[in-house]
Amino acid sequence: MTEEKDIKFLQNGVKYIYNPDAPRMYKHFSNERWVETNTNHMEWLFGEYNSKLNKLKYSMIVKINDEIKYISSDYNSVIDYIREISNEFKNDVHKIVCIKYNFDEY
């Protein structure tokens, strides 16, 4: 991907869906495992983009069900935030976690 395509992709946001009503075959996938798996993916994905886009200034916006919950320019703090709120993924509420990048230069 080119830098321009990377930026467009990140501006649109990366979505993680928490679905407590998942089909029966996914019921073994506990809430804690959901958080662990998805934050591991975030570490890999955002780490890759951080090294590719290191010369650009940006912030990351965490939205949960379209409500802004957290903003940071450090991808590690975004991941730590998701881990810290893991208890929010222990109820019967469907959640869409969207992490969008806001580039200062675009």
Instruction: Tally the domains of the chain.
Output: 1
Q: What's the mean pLDDT in 4-13?
A: 93
pLDDT at 1 over 70: no
Residue type, 50: N
pLDDT at 104 over 80: no
Handedness of CA 22, 13, 69, 40 (dihedral sign): positive
pLDDT at 29 over 70: no
Look at residue 106 in the predicted model and tell me its pLDDT.
43
List pLDDT tens digits, range 33-58: 888 999 999 999 999 999 888 789 99
The count of C-alpha atoms lying within 13 angstroms of the C-alpha of 101, restricted to the half-sphere facing its C-beta, is: 22
CA proximity to 19, closest of 56, 65, 75, 57: 65
List pLDDT tens digits, range 53-86: 878 999 999 999 999 999 999 999 999 999 999 8
Name the residue range of residue 63's domain. Answer: 3-103
